[in-house]
Amino acid sequence: MPQLAQFDTPFASLQLSRRPHRDRETLQPWDAADEYLLQHLASQSIAVDSRILIVNDSQGSLCAALSTYRCTLWADSAISQLSANENCARNQLAAPEFIPASDIPQGSFDYILYKLPKARSLLQYQLQHLAPLFSRPEQFIAAAMARHIDHNVVATFSKYLVPARPSLARKKARLIQLQNMSFNREVDDDCKIVEVPEFGLTLHNRANVFSRDKLDQGSRIMLRAMDTLAAPTRVADLACGNGLLGVYAQGIWPEAELHFFDDSFLAIDSARRTVQANSRKPNIASSCTFSADDCLSNYHGEPFDLILCNPPFHQDHHVGDHIAQAMFRDSLKHLAPNGRLCVVGNRHLGYHNALRKLFGRCDIIDSNPKFVVLLAHR
């Protein structure tokens, strides 16, 4: 059972939970920036039929609080979508319309409520596409914890939207409010293409994708280790990002069936583009599956005999291994008998301890002073 916390807002009193669900949860499904934003909005004269675009509501707290309005959630997170739906259902409220970040909202909105994302690339991408959706500066309200608002964030607003100014802090949170509506800018292409000649790969990296400027060192050692593995028939690239591990698997095991999973919709689109760019077969991406999900929580297909994983070590601004641990548990559920989970991680994270406890057998198959590649056997 997920742990519930009571969130009292000017609009409703709610019972909310966080995703991924874990025992002895220490984090709330909202923060002081959510509280500040809702208090500010409640001080406005809001028409009952207002159309509200909520951006980056990570756990659905804003969507649940404002469900009596016509709310649309735009986010780059399957967890955000699932949390909004779950928390609205738990409180007998209507779920918002959902638009993945890989699509663009259309029309106009009475209010845009914007929670600052962690990734600067996602901030730039979203601000550019939000510009046509409203007409007055007071219709746009951004919020974040004060420690996450610096001069670079303010400069990004000026460059990609309009000049903006942070409010005074309240409970260590600030609003960011626009100063005028003088923008008229073209939208940049958010996709960065990175060539990796040592592995013969071309990577497509959309906004919010991990290590979008270069091949990260953990993935580099993971690719070397994959060459030593026995050939699988059904492979999952879990936390796939730009699809690097999966597309490399396709190259060394061309007959394998490939499935890509990530919380980020922009990552899933990046993986699809990467697969298409690196395959010698036309329309190869149509033979793979691409799923935005909270780990493997909504997967109900056949088990895998190999899962590849370079797990994240943070959720938004919260650093920790809880996402990785959820991925390990889900992998165990969805591996075939004698299936294997291959994981790369920083040596100090001690993933081998968790994997040995879950799987029984976990071997180090490659390492350097910073990273280890682990192979757990079901």
State the Cα–Cα distance between residues 194 and 204, nearest whole angstrom.
7
φ and ψ at residue 126, rounded to 5 degrees: -70, -45
Together in a domain, 219 and 342: yes
Beta carbons of 109 and 33 less than 8 angstroms apart:
no
Together in a domain, 159 and 218: no
Is there a domain that residue 199 lies in?
yes
**Residue 297 above 90 pLDDT?**
yes
State the Cα–Cα distance between residues 231 and 270, nearest whole angstrom.
25
- What SS3 class is residue 108? coil
Which of 154, 178, 202 lies at the terminal end of a domain, its last residue?
A: 178
pLDDT of residue 92: 97
Domain of residue 12, residue span: 5-178
DSSP-assigned beta bridge partners for residue 234 = 257
CA distances from 150 to 116, 145, 156 (A): 12, 11, 10
The confidence band for 23, taking pLDDT boundaries of 50, 70 and 90, is confident
pLDDT of residue 283: 61
The confidence band for 320, taking pLDDT boundaries of 50, 70 and 90, is low
State the Cα–Cα distance between residues 262 and 241, nearest whole angstrom.
7
pTM: 0.94
Beta carbons of 238 and 312 less than 8 angstroms apart:
no
Instruction: Give the DSSP H or E segment for 177.
Output: strand 173-178
**Residue 317 above 90 pLDDT?**
no
**Residue 146 above 80 pLDDT?**
yes
pLDDT of residue 282: 60
Together in a domain, 65 and 119: yes
**Residue 112 above 70 pLDDT?**
yes
Which of 178, 212, 239 lies at the terminal end of a domain, its last residue?
A: 178
Is there a domain that residue 151 lies in?
yes
Together in a domain, 371 and 266: yes
Cα–Cα nearest to 344, from 375, 316, 300: 375
Together in a domain, 292 and 154: no
Residues with Cβ within 8 Å of residue 134, at least 6 apart in sequence: 108, 109, 111, 112, 140
| CATH code where residue 103 lies | 3.40.50.150
Instruction: Give the DSSP H or E segment for 338.
Output: strand 335-346
Q: What is the number of H-type helices and E-type strands within the chain?
A: 10, 20
Is there a domain that residue 183 lies in?
no
Together in a domain, 162 and 26: yes
**Residue 114 above 60 pLDDT?**
yes
Mean pLDDT of 184-208: 92
Mean pLDDT of 257-261: 97
pLDDT of residue 366: 96
Together in a domain, 266 and 133: no
DSSP-assigned beta bridge partners for residue 202 = 195
State the Cα–Cα distance between residues 84 and 87, nearest whole angstrom.
5
Mean pLDDT of 101-109: 96
Is there a domain that residue 78 lies in?
yes
Together in a domain, 137 and 48: yes
State the Cα–Cα distance between residues 16 and 90, nearest whole angstrom.
8
Torsion of the alpha carbons at 201, 267, 322 and 311, rounded to the nearest 10: 0
Please tell me the least confidently modeled range out of 185-189, 230-234, 340-344.
185-189
Beta strand 318-319 with 361-367: parallel, antiparallel or unpaired? unpaired
Is there a domain that residue 101 lies in?
yes
End-to-end CA distance of the chain: 26
Is there a domain that residue 186 lies in?
no
Together in a domain, 258 and 370: yes
Which of 119, 144, 178 lies at the terminal end of a domain, its last residue?
A: 178
**Residue 284 above 80 pLDDT?**
no
State the Cα–Cα distance between residues 261 and 179, nearest whole angstrom.
40
Q: What tens digit of pLDDT does each residue of 200-221 get?
A: 999 999 999 998 899 999 999 9
pLDDT of residue 285: 63
Q: What is the DSSP letter of 150?
A: -
Together in a domain, 92 and 118: yes
Cα–Cα nearest to 54, from 25, 24, 87: 87
Is there a domain that residue 276 lies in?
yes
SS (H, E, C) 266-313: HHHHHHHHHHHHHCCCCCHHHHCEEEECCCCCCCCCCCEEEEEECCCC
What is the total count of domains within the chain?
2
Mean pLDDT of 226-234: 96
CA quadruple 166, 168, 173, 177: dihedral sign = negative
Beta carbons of 239 and 309 less than 8 angstroms apart:
yes
Together in a domain, 282 and 347: yes
Together in a domain, 164 and 228: no
The confidence band for 279, taking pLDDT boundaries of 50, 70 and 90, is confident
Is there a domain that residue 201 lies in?
yes
Mean pLDDT of 158-167: 93
